Chain A
Amino acid sequence: MNILVSIKQVPDMESKFKVNKEGTWYDGADLAWRMNEYDEYAVEQAVQLKEKTGADLTVICIGPERVKEAMKKALAMGCDRGVHVVDEASFEKDPYSIAAIIAEFARPKSFDLIFTGMQSQDRGSAQVGTLAAEMLGLPCITTIVDFAFEKGTVTVKRELEGGVKARVTAPTPALVTCQLGLNTPRYPTLPNIMKAKKKELLSLPVADLLNISVQQETTRLYFPEKKGGGLVLEGDLGDLADKLIRILKEKTTVLA
C-alpha cells in the first residue's frame, strides 16, 4: 500500500505582515515559517495508517529551499521519504496550478490514499486537495474529523456547520482533506528527528511537473481598512483594569 501526504509551509499567523514592493503578496522576509496547521493533522493520520498497515508513506511539498524545514518535521513524525518540488515562485501560483503539480507527481505512482489539509492558513482556498482528486479521477471527501480504513474502503466523518457531522464512505484509491481536531498530531521525538535526517529527501524542479498556466492572479494585496474599530487600551495593568471596569459600568448593565 502506498500513501501520499501533501503539505504546505506557511507563515506563523501571529506574524507582523508587510506587503511586498510589488503590492501583490506579503513580504516573505522576517517571517517565522511552520507547517500549515491543517497539514499536521493530515501527516498524523497518514502516519497512523502507515503504522497500522505497514504502508509506504511519501510527503510532498512545493516551495523554495526553506520548506524543507516543514518536510523534516513530517519525516520526523514518521513519513518514509520526502519529495521537494523546488519552486521559488510557489507563492504566486493559484490552487489549480498547485493541484496540477501534485496530481502530475501522483499520477504514475498509483497511491492508494492521499491526505491533504482541508485548506492552508494563508490562502485558505480549500481547493487544492479536491482539484488534485478531480485531476486524478479519485473520489474525494473533504473536511474530515474522523478516519478509518478497512478492506479498500475509507469511512470518515465530515464536519458540517453547527457541530453536526456526516458519516461518509468511499472506495480507495481516494483523497481526503483533513480538518483541525481530526487527531492529536504528535511532537517529533529527538531520536526520530535524528532518524529523519537520514531519510531520503528528493528534489524535483517544478518545471518537470507543471505544464499549465495560472487561471487567476492576485492584482493587489493590502491591509483591510479598520472599520472605525473600538477603543484601544494600553498601559499599566492596574489602570487598564480600572478603565475597563468604568467602561463596563457605563456601556453595559452587567456590573449593575
Chain B
Amino acid sequence: MKTLLVAEYREGRLQNNVNDLMAFANKAGADSTMFLVGSKTDLPQFQGKLYLADTEKCGEYNPEVHKELLLDVVAKVKPDMVIFSHSSYGWDLAPRVAFALKATQISEVVDFVDGVPIVPVCNSKLRRKVTPKTDITVLTLQAGAFSLTDQTPVTPIVEMISTPATGTIRFGGYEQAEKGGIDLTKAQVIVSAGRGIGKPENIGMIAKLAQALKGEYGASRPVVDSEWAEHNRQVGTTGQTVSPKLYMACGISGAIQHLAGMKKSEFVVAINTDKDAPIGEMADVLVVVDLKQFIPLLTERILAL
C-alpha cells in the first residue's frame, strides 16, 4: 500500500502534525511519500521522497494552487491513500483534492484497524467503521490520534515542484490572538466552565472555586463564543494548551478540541450531570452531580480546611 502524506507549513514553520502523518503510515505499514508547500529551511524528519513547493511562490494558504500541486504529485506517485491532518489546512484542502480524484474522504480518523478507518460520531459519543468504495481514499487524521514514538534525525530526498495555477482566493495575512493578562499555561490549578454552567452569572462560582484552589478559571469554546468569558481564558485547540497539576472541568462535555487543550493535565476532575459525557474518558474522577449546587458547597468546604 502506498500513502501520500500532506504536511503543513504556517508562519514560516513546518507544523508538528507532520509526525501524526508519519505515525499513521507506520501503523498502516505503508510506503509513503510526502508533499509539502513549505521551504527548504524547515524540512520534515522524513525518510523518503518529499515533493516540495515553495511558499514564496505558492503561498502558505492558497487552496486552489495547493490542490493543483498535489494533483500533479498524485498523478506521479499513484498512492492508494492521501493523508491529511484534520486541521484548518487539512479539512480545507482535502475535499477539494478528493473531489478531483473521485476519491471518497473519511474525516477525523481516530484509529485504523485491519485497514479500516474508524471515526467519531456525535461529539465522540459513538464511533463508526467506514468502508471506502473508491479506488483512492483521502483521510484526515484527528490531532494526536496517531503519535510517533521514536524519531531519528533524517533528511528527505527533495524534489522541487511548481505550478502555473494562480486561483481566485487571496490570502491577506495573519492576525494573532489578542494577548490578555491571563496566561493559563503557567497555572497550577485551572477550573474551567463549560456550557453546562447554564448562564453567564454562574461564571462567578467557577471563579470562586478557582480562587479557593489558588488557581485560575478557564472556559470551553461555547462559553467564550457566548461571551460569558474572555477569549484569553479559552482552553482548547483554538485557545490555550494547558498542563496544570489539577484541571477541573465543570459542565464541559469534552469535545475533542477541548480535550486536545487539557489532556496534559496531571489530574483531571470532571463535574457533569451526563455520566456518558466524553470528558469522563479523560477524567481521573467524574462527579455526577448538578454543578450549580455542588460547586458552592465544595468551595465552602475547601475554604474551611
A, B assembled together: yes
- Could you give, for residues 131-170 of chain A, a 1 whenever the CB lies within 8 Å of some chain B CB and a 0 otherwise? 1001100011111000000000000011111111111111
B residues near A (Cβ < 8 Å) are 10-11, 61, 63-64, 86-89, 91-92, 94-96, 98-100, 103-108, 116, 120-134, 140, 167-177, 188-189, 213-215, 221-222, 224-225, 231, 234, 237-239, 245-246, 253, 266-270, 274-276, 280-281, 283-289, 293-294, 297-298, 301-302, 305
Mark A residues whose CB is within 8 Å of B. 11, 13-14, 16-17, 19, 26, 94-96, 119, 121-127, 130-131, 134-135, 139-143, 157-171, 180-181, 214-224, 226-227, 229-234, 237-238, 240-242, 244-245, 247-248, 251-255
Contact of B169 among A14, A119, A134, A139 (CB under 8 A): A139
- Whether B297 pairs with A241 at a CB distance below 8 angstroms is yes
* Bound CA span A123–B281, Å: 20
Partner of A219, one of B11, B103, B131: B131
| CA–CA, A123 and B237, complex, Å | 19
Q: Which of B128, B188, B266 contacts A218 (CB 8 A)?
A: B128
How many interface contacts (CB-CB < 8 Å) are there between A and B? 246
Q: How far is the CB of B163 from chain A (nearest CB, A)?
A: 17
Partner of B284, one of A95, A215, A251: A251
The B interface is mostly helix, strand or loop, or mixed, namely mixed
Contact A221 B121, CB 8 Å, known A161-B88, A166-B174: yes
12 more A-B contacts (CB under 8 A) besides A161-B238, A218-B131?
Answer: A124-B108, A127-B107, A130-B95, A134-B100, A135-B99, A142-B92, A215-B103, A220-B129, A224-B281, A229-B283, A233-B286, A237-B297
CA distance A165 to B178 in the complex (A): 11
Query: Which residues of chain B come closer than 8 Å to A218, judged between CB atoms?
Result: 128-131
CB neighbours (8 Å) of B116 from chain A are: 219
Closest CB in chain B relative to A155 CB, distance in Å:
8
Contact between B175 and A164, CB atoms less than 8 A apart: yes
- Checking A16, A143, A162, A216 against B131 with a beta-carbon cut-off of 8 angstroms, the contacting residue is A216
Known contacts A158-B88, A222-B127; is A230 also within 8 Å of B285 by CB?
yes
Query: Residue B222 contacts which of A140, A161, A180 (CB distance < 8 angstroms)?
Result: A180
A254 touching B245, Cβ below 8 Å: yes
B172 lies within 8 A of A169 (CB) = yes
A240 CB to closest chain B CB (Å) equals 6
Taking a contact as CB atoms under 8 Å apart, the answer to whether A254 and B305 are in contact is no
The answer to whether A130 touches B281, judged by C-beta atoms less than 8 angstroms apart, is no
Q: With the chains together, A221 CA to B127 CA distance in Å? A: 6
